[in-house]
A and B are shown apart, each in its own frame.
Chain A
Amino acid sequence: MHLTGSLQRPVNFPGSSVEMSQGRVRIEGTELTVVDLPGLGSLQPMSPDEKVTIAHLRGDDGARPDVICAVIDASKLSVELQFVSELTSLGLPMIVALNKNDVARAEGRCVDPAALEAEIGIRVIETDGRSPRGTQLLGQCLVRDEPACPKGLPRDLIEEIADRLQAQSEPRRTLTTRLDDVLLQRWLGLPILALVIFGMFQLVYSGADPFVGWVEMAQGWLSGLVEGGVGPGALRSFLIGGLINGVFSVFVFLPQIMLLIALIAILEGTGYMARAAFLLDRTLSRFGLSGRSFVPLASSFACAIPGILASRIIDNERDRIATIVVAPLMSCSARLPVYVVLIGAFFPLAWSGLILFGLYALGIVVAAAVAWCLRRTALKGGQSTLLMELPTYQRPSLRVVFSQVWIATREFLILAGTIILATSVVIWLLSYYPRPEAIHAKFEEQRRSLAATALDPTQRSRQLDKIAAAEAAAFSEQSWLAHIGKAIQPAFAPAGFDWRTTIGVIAAFPAREAIIPTYGILYSLGDIDAGAYDLASLDKPVEEVAGLRSVLREARRMDGRPALNPLIALALMVFFALCSQCVSTLGAIRRETRSWRWPAFTFGYMTALAWVGAVAVYQIGSLMGYGLGS
């Protein structure tokens, strides 16, 4: 990143780089192609990401490098030199980038680059992964000095070299050692981890709120502008209900997603994520997973796609596939707006946090159960052991955190945003048409009758609004979308869903977030702003919150019963917590497992579980007296 300026994903976690990436840089008139490869411990690959590196180093992918730049950790000199010794057997010119010498210095074992160079016969440049220090010299060395093939580094001399080079002093108790004494303590470690993760989620909910408010203000302002400039009709309805609704339903989630990614990046950058994997290894092993599964699963709380890609760090293929198949059960950031809207509309403030936590916990518990079953049936076989190095604690680089947030934001805007926009405009089209003249004539007659009555302006305006809402509802009930929804609705009737809720669920299959603008269109009954919800308004009475939440609460079926109630809302959230509703995730599973079998299995079992879960919640709740009509 410091050499080419490109935004890759450097993090303080072993195995974080899981695929090749490359960038170009021009140094003193020479263009260099720099290929960043997943880290290696030896030339014997143990996991898919390591195979990527070895294949490229050997030229198996048709593009053998001209020079190897081996980035080594000065605080683990003897271990790293063992690997450098293996690399010399490849017969490629080499440079060594001596990294983390500051960490070694803090431990009283700093390394003199010039002395190291003299000992191993390979050019050594001191660098710092958190800053551009050393990269200019590294680039110049690559261009000017034409690195030579090293003669070889006898493995039996490495310990002696390391002892000679590193300052002889008593090992110091570093900050890392002192922190690990507490954070990895047998009884404190897991509770501290639980607190950290809970705190992270709390911060996402409260920290993103002001920004969500600004996005919603912008949406409201823009909608007002259109209302003032365009008269009632299809164009105004499309611009507000289809386009603005669609575009802003993408932007309104951005603050939460960016904050979640930033917090995960900060945790990774400090080195704590690696400790989390260590702490959870025993627990995860009971369910047939590996401690290394923690990083892919934790990443899936932001988005399942990078989580699935991160599974390449798992060397055991059965563990890896089990992790991939259950990763979508982690409640990703796309589900968060759905939870916020429904919890805010139907549940008291005091229950909000508990329900939210329960939904996240549901995904985790079900994932553990599915992994346990898989590892005893379709993926039966040996289990891997966790072998990893714990990085030193360090202050995360803000530049690295910003780059990770930017990468994730860009991916979200392009991948999810385009689907949401397309889904929104299609849903609008299907929900707006047809427009039978007979319905329009009927309500025009009502407006003419009203005009002939003697009412004060306020009462007249209120009555006109009611007529407009009734007209919109009448058009909506006979729309193409209603026909589709009513045809599918019997499949979801046992869960208490009406046709509009069913349509919302179907529309969410390409991308979960699409349910919000869909409900905004279907339940808006006119020009009600569908985007006026926010995280902090979970603590306000529903009546104070204009917008989708109050509309959902007041929405009625044709027979007068509520369209949604707390029980149906809970069933809907359980459905969302368990269902596979992301085409991009299924695509990532196909890519990582190199078959259609596993994405098809994932879609099938998750949809079935979601349906069973939603039906169970509604039927059991109905027996307890919380169903419709009670």
Chain B
Amino acid sequence: MTGSWSFTWQDPVAIALVALALLVAWWLRRRLGRGSKCEECPAKKDHV
């Protein structure tokens, strides 16, 4: 990297959207996937 960066108003917006997308992906996985309450359901416990 040399010199200063080329920044416009779009850059902070894009970076904020990256963070938001990661949060949404994490939340969706936690809420709907294997990290959700389904793990606590007795029917889904590891078998004997």
The yes or no answer to A151 lying at the interface (CB within 8 A) is: no
Q: Kindly list chain A residues whose C-beta atoms are within 8 Å of the C-beta of B34.
A: 415, 587
Find residues 34-62 in chain A having any chain B CB closer than 8 Å to their own CB: 35, 48-49, 51-52, 55, 60-62
> Measured between C-beta atoms, what is the minimum distance from A51 to chain B in Å?
5
Closest to A421 in B: B25
B29 interface neighbour in A415, A434, A478, A587, Cβ under 8 Å: A415
Closest residue of A by beta carbon distance from B8: A233
Is B46 touching A594 in the complex (CB atoms < 8 A)? yes
- Dominant secondary structure of chain B at its interface with chain A: helix
**Which residues of B sit under 8 angstroms from A231, Cβ to Cβ?**
10
A contact residues, range:
35 or more
Point out the residues of chain A lying under 8 angstroms from B22, CB to CB. Answer: 422, 425-426
Contact A414–B10 (Cβ < 8 Å): no
Across the interface, do B7 and A435 meet the contact criterion of CB distance under 8 Å? yes
Contacts of A246 in B (CB 8 A): 21
Complex Cα gap A51–B33 (Å):
26
Looking at chain A's contact residues, is the secondary structure mostly helix, strand, loop, or mixed?
Answer: helix
Once A243-B17, A422-B22 are accepted as A-B contacts, the answer to whether A52 and B47 lie under 8 Å apart by CB is: yes
B37 at the interface (CB under 8 A from A): no
Q: Which 7 A-B pairs have the closest CB atoms?
A: A233-B10, A235-B10, A234-B14, A52-B47, A238-B14, A22-B43, A440-B6
Interface residue tally for chain B (C-beta within 8 Å): 33
Q: How far does the alpha carbon of A500 sit from the alpha carbon of B3 in the complex, in Å?
A: 25
Distance of A386 Cα from B5 Cα, bound (Å): 67
Question: A472: shortest Cβ distance to chain B, in Å?
Answer: 13
Q: Does A288 contact B (CB under 8 A)?
A: no
In the assembled complex, A242 has its CB within 8 A of some CB on chain B: yes
The answer to whether A19 has its CB under 8 Å from any CB of chain B is yes
Asked if A623 is at the interface (CB within 8 A of a chain B CB), the reply is no
Contacting A at CB under 8 A, from B4-41, are: 4-8, 10-11, 13-15, 17-18, 21-22, 24-26, 28-29, 32-34, 41
Cβ-defined contact, A437 with B18, below 8 A: no
Q: Which of A63, A414, A437 interacts with B33 by CB under 8 Å?
A: A414
B43 near A20 with CB under 8 A, answer: yes
In the assembled complex, the Cα of A119 lies from the Cα of B26 at a distance in Å of 58
- The answer to whether B47 and A414 have CB atoms under 8 Å apart is no
**Are A49 and B47 in contact, CB atoms less than 8 angstroms apart?**
yes
9 intermolecular pairs with C-beta atoms under 8 Å apart:
A19-B44, A35-B43, A51-B48, A233-B8, A234-B11, A235-B10, A237-B14, A414-B32, A415-B34
Complex alpha-carbon distance, A20 and B44, angstroms: 7
> Nearest Cβ in chain B — how far from A284, in angstroms?
24
Q: Which residue of B lies closest to A312 (CB)?
A: B47
Contacts of B6 in A (CB 8 A): 435-437, 439-440
8 Å CB contact of A414 from B2, B14, B29, B44? B29
Q: Decide yes or no whether A89 CB sits under 8 A from chain B.
A: no
Within the complex, which residue of B5, B28, B29, B48 is in contact with A435, where a contact is CB–CB below 8 Å? B5
The answer to whether A63 touches B3, judged by C-beta atoms less than 8 angstroms apart, is no
A428 within 8 A of B: yes
Residue on A with the closest CB to B23?
A422
- When distances are taken between beta carbons in the complex, the residues of chain B under 8 Å from A432 are 14
Contacts of B45 in A (CB 8 A): 20, 61
Asked if A591 CB lies within 8 Å of chain B CBs, one says yes
Look across to chain A and name the residue whose beta carbon is closest to the beta carbon of B24.
Answer: A421
Nearest chain A residue, comparing its CB with the CB of B12: A234
The reply to whether the CB of A429 lies closer than 8 angstroms to some CB of chain B is yes
Docked complex Cα distance between A295 and B41 (Å): 27
Docked-complex contact A48 and B47, CB < 8 angstroms? yes
B26 near A422 (CB under 8 angstroms)?
yes
B44 proximity list for chain A (CB < 8 A):
19-21
Interface centre among B13, B14, B44, B45 (most CB of A within 10 A): B14
Contacts of A9 in B (CB 8 A): none
Q: A460 an interface residue at 8 Å Cβ cutoff?
A: no
For A425, what are the chain B residues with a Cβ–Cβ distance below 8 Å?
17-18, 21-22
On chain B, the residues within 8 Å of A61 by CB distance are 42, 45, 48
**Once the chains are docked, how many angstroms separate the CA of A417 from the CA of B26?**
11
What is the chain A residue whose CB lies nearest that of B45? A61
Complexed CA–CA distance, A119 and B22 (Å): 63
A225-256: contact bitstring with B at CB < 8 Å (1 yes, 0 no)? 00000110111111100110010000000000
Report B-chain residues with C-beta under 8 Å of the C-beta of A439.
6
Taking the nearest CB of chain B, how far is it from the CB of A4, in angstroms?
12
- The digit string for A252-271, where 1 denotes a CB below 8 A from any CB of B, is 00000000000000000000
In the complex, the answer to whether B28 meets A414 with C-beta atoms within 8 Å is yes
Q: How far is the CB of B48 from chain A (nearest CB, A)?
A: 4
Closest partner residue, chain A, to B7 (CB atom) = A435
Residues of chain B within 8 A of A438, CB atoms compared: 2-3
Given contacts A51-B47, A418-B29, contact A437 B42 (CB under 8 A): no
Contact B47 A436 (CB under 8 A): no
Q: How far is the CA of A560 from the CA of B14 in the complex (A)?
A: 32
Residue of B nearest to A440 (CB): B6
Most A CB within 10 A of own CB, among B5, B8, B18, B22:
B18
